[in-house]
Amino acid sequence: MPELLRLQTPDFEFSIWANDISARAKVYQATVEKRASLTLARVGNAENISPELRFSPEAKLVDIAVIDGPSGIYAQAALATSVAGPEKRSMLTLNAPLFFENTQYQFEWVFFGAVSDARLVHRSQGVSEAFRFAKQRGPLPARLIGSINTGNDVGWMRLPLSFEEEGKTHTQHIAFEVLPTKMALHQDLPAMYRAIDSVYPLWRFSLVEKTEQDAASSKQRGHFPLMWLANFAALRSRFELGLKVICTAPHSRLQPSVANIKAAKLKGRLPYKLGEQVKQDFANGQYDKRYRLEKKQLSVDTPENRFIKMAVKRSKRQLAEFEAKLRTSNQAPERQRLSDSFLNELHNWQQPLQKVLNQSFLKEVGAYGGLNRESLVLQQKTGYSAVYRVWQELKFYLDVFGNQSSISMKSVAEIYEVWCFLCLKQILEQDLGFTLVENDAAKLSQNDFFEYQLKDGFAGAFRFKRADGVTARLAHEPKFTKKGQSIRSYLVSQEPDIVLEVTLPKAGELTEEKQFIWLFDAKYRIKTDKNRFDGSEDNISKTDYVPDDAINQMHRYRDALIRLSTPDNAVSSDRAKKSRPVFGAFALYPGFFDQAQEMNPYANAIEEVGIGAFALLPSQAESNYCGHQWLSEFLQAQIGTASSVKAGQANDTLYPVAGMAERQYVKEAARIPYYGMRQVLYPDLTLTAALGNLTGRSKSYLENFENGTAQWYHIKQKAIHQLEGQIGAHIVDEVRYLALASPSKQIPSTKQIDKVWSVKRVSLLPRNEITENQAGKQSGSDELYYLFELGKPLTLQQSVNNVPLRKFLHSMKLTTLSRIENVVKFSEVDEVYKN
């Protein structure tokens, strides 16, 4: 495990080790370079910010040794030592990034003095417990050692060291920024935060994680304790300093005081009128009469002091409630997230406030009733102005604190998952023409640690509707169990991240609603052709792929979910018909591509089997790069677009919903049956066509069609593909009947359909392999033809007339047997698989 960094101060030597990080560093560098090449503004403006270590309080660095290798290949580098003399620093700039996500780091402090105890006072119990203190033993100095796996936590990781030496407690905080290798930290994450905050205000904030980030302003959502606490921690020193000044010299002012006292107790010089009144009363023998005396005296019971007392009491009460609830929530062993040092810190924050409340001058101060006007004392006087400003920031913390405070965020994996969910919502609204009609997903609830949680499942779904009547439902983490009524998982409960359910209304050829489901699972992981973090650096590929286990999970979701539908004539639910409702399952991952120019590496698999992945990253406003183009185009191909809906309305017809349903069933992925079986949409699919040019063919060829003994019919593959909808081989395999038109004997210059031939088998052959017996004549062409093997024909009760004679393509339609039996004119034959 190579040493990455070593720092020496007068009190200790601090060292960091990690396994070889050269591969991760190279991946990070490749990510930055790819982003720079596809954005108008160089990524260096945002991402190539020099990495640094921060110290609080300032650290007196005696010696600095940082790993430094050519082109960031740390494995071949040696520690470069810089001894410039002792120097106090609040920041140390590093030569290259050293700290990455999902990496194990080992930290060690070796103390020079007689340190009796040392610990890490991190808020997270897991981080604090990962460190072990070893006391001094003989020549071996005292040391504190621990390991941290950064996981999916990115941002600033703080190591708050506390050690006791000769009865005194010392603290030294060291902070460094953990970088993601899969995305641009200072570009992608803020874009995700903005998208999430617009729908789920404050959801992304967490009470305790390994790392923290500067908390940018967010849409206000009432009172949020986590934000108040984070802001109070940042402003606490100013708040306490201002209170100390106030306690030393509290503000007072002359205030009128009225007293009714006897003449014997009157002192000092009396007002003339009062003296005359006393003389007159004495003359009249009135010695016990009380006299009204108004004086002015200094008093601390001012509106300003009432405000200070209110602010201190409310802050103290807020912290006490916060501590009590957190201690209660943290009692269960399986839920212990908070370290004792963090809970004790909350308790210690209350002590200075209680000390202020015990001040004697505040006992004379009454209840705060508000300020009738602006107070120059609160705005300008030393101490009062500091407390007043801090209170205003605490009161309106969501609006004004900007980047002043630091707070933990949920892990980037959770952030990415919810952002993918909202990205799908955006595609439905902006690209596919849907309108949001119900928003149950915005209902958030707080857990025992004051963190907001989403209401998962279909109960907290977005619901959409479009002008053509198509509805959609977008749900986050719905659970499918063995007790499900409509969709069930028979063995193990399944919980995909995102479920998109689209329902087509009854319209046109659709006699019942059709429902289609696509599943998505957000994976904040990337792999390359070879494992990007194993082996030599030469193994790193330039193409981002989703991990193999993510693809395996998509197969599991599609296979596990079963739809149960009860036929209308069923007498009990035991006869429920089973079907597979999932038409596609796809992983979403933070791969970086120029999606306008490159092809999705999973495009072929998506087309063939309906399983694959889509790269998904926030789009950059300053470039033409679109991070969700592949996913948007896929959904447009499945569900249609806003423009197609408007086009349908312009023709006073609904968007062809039936054609949308057929589009799903015509896909190659939906056609894969169990071995030995067939899977068709129309069991009586019929292809109409005219008999070809009979010139040069044997006489018996036409006679066989007329007397019902024909066994073969061939047609060009190119002609089939020219049918509207680009019919492929899997649709030709579905054809069960051929309705062949021969020259009409009743209506000259037309053809008519008298017989419908059953199809036994279809083969695709070059024309020169089709025999004269099968085609009526021999040909040496190698052009591909479909050869239909025919069974016995069915004779129609009434012929279908007016089949076009001249252009062969005009005689071709895909329809069904039932549709042909009910018409007499070819123009009245309804088509299927159209558009």
- Contact (CB, 8 A) for 175 and 211: no
Whether 668 shows a pLDDT value over 80: the answer reads no
What pLDDT was estimated at residue 329? 63
* pLDDT over 60 at 70, yes or no: no
- pLDDT tier at 728, thresholds 50, 70, 90: low
pLDDT at 525 over 50: yes
What's CA 662's distance to the chain center, in Å? 32
Beta bridge partners of 176: 53, 157
Alpha carbon of 734 to those of 657, 676, 681, 729, 759: distances in Å?
22, 15, 8, 9, 10
Residue 770 contacts residue 711 (beta carbons within 8 Å): no
Among 143-157, 183-197, 218-232, the range with the most confident prediction by mean pLDDT is 143-157
Average pLDDT over residues 61-88: 68
pLDDT at 451: 54
Indicate the pLDDT class of residue 335, thresholds 50, 70 and 90: low
| Partner residues linked to 100 by β-bridges | 179
Q: Record the tokens describing residue 741, joined without a space.
A: 């038109």
Task: Give the pLDDT score at 453.
Answer: 58
With 90 as the cut, is the pLDDT of residue 588 above it?
A: yes
**Whole-number Cα distances in Å, 595 to 188, 416, 619, 633:** 16, 19, 11, 11
Q: What is the rounded average pLDDT of the residues 750-766? A: 89
**For the chain, the helix, strand and coil percentages under 3-state DSSP, each to the nearest 5:** 30, 30, 40
Query: Phi first, then psi: what are they for 199, rounded to 5°?
Result: -115, -40
pLDDT on residue 216: 47
Mean pLDDT of the chain: 78
Which H helix or E strand runs over 702?
Answer: helix 699-707
> Which residue, among 728, 730, 733, has the nearest Cα to 718 in the 3D structure?
728
The per-residue pLDDT for range 99-140, each reduced to its tens digit, is 998 889 999 999 998 899 999 888 788 888 889 999 988 889
Proportion of the chain above pLDDT 70, given as a percent: 77
Would you call 542 exposed, middle or buried from its count of C-beta atoms within 10 A (0-12, 13-18, 19+)? exposed
What is the model's pLDDT at position 535? 44
- What confidence category does residue 40 fall into, taking pLDDT thresholds of 50, 70 and 90? very low
pLDDT at position 791, please?
92
| Structure confidence by residue, pLDDT tens digits, 152-180 | 888 888 898 999 988 899 999 898 888 88
CA 427 to chain centre: 14
For the ranges 41-50, 78-87, 710-719, which has the lowest average pLDDT? 41-50
DSSP character string of 619-683: PPTTSS--TTHHHHHHHHHHH--HHHHHHHHHTTS---HHHHHHHHHTSTGGG---TT----S-T
Supply 64's token pair. 């600095």
Task: Look at residue 397 in the predicted model and tell me its pLDDT.
Answer: 47
Res 108: pLDDT:
94
Indicate whether 76 pLDDT > 80. Answer: no
DSSP code for 151: T
Structure tokens that stand for 725 in this block: 């909808």
Task: Please give the DSSP secondary-structure letter assigned to residue 265.
Answer: G
Q: Where are the domains of the chain?
A: 3-186, 199-250+302-409, 253-263+276-299, 412-662, 682-828
Provide CB contacts within 8 A for 66, sequence distance 6+.
4, 5, 6, 79, 80, 82, 94, 95, 98
What does the pLDDT average to over 213-225? Answer: 49
Per-residue pLDDT at 338 exceeds 70: no
pLDDT surpassing 80 at residue 359:
yes
Question: Which segment, 281-285, 685-689, 696-700, is predicted with the most confidence on average?
Answer: 685-689
Length of the chain: 835
Whether the per-residue pLDDT at 81 is higher than 70: the answer is: no
Q: State residue 164's pLDDT score.
A: 92
Band the pLDDT of 398: cuts 50, 70, 90: very low
- C-alpha neighbours within 13 Å on the C-beta side of residue 572: 1
- Asked if residue 76 lies in contact with residue 69, where contact means CB atoms within 8 angstroms, the answer is yes
Average pLDDT over residues 771-782: 88
The pLDDT of residue 118 is 92
- Rounded average pLDDT over 722-742: 77
Say whether pLDDT at 38 is over 70.
Answer: no
Mean pLDDT computed over 679-689: 86
Model pLDDT, residue 346: 74
Residues 796, 753: contact at Cβ < 8 Å?
yes
**If we measure between CA atoms, which residue out of 434, 587, 616, 418 comes closest to residue 519?**
587
pLDDT at 43: 38
Residue 478 CA to residue 456 CA, distance in Å, equals: 6
Q: What average pLDDT does the segment 549-575 reach?
A: 76
pLDDT at 219 over 60: no
Whether pLDDT at 443 is above 90:
no
Query: Residue 400: pLDDT band by 50, 70, 90 thresholds?
Result: very low
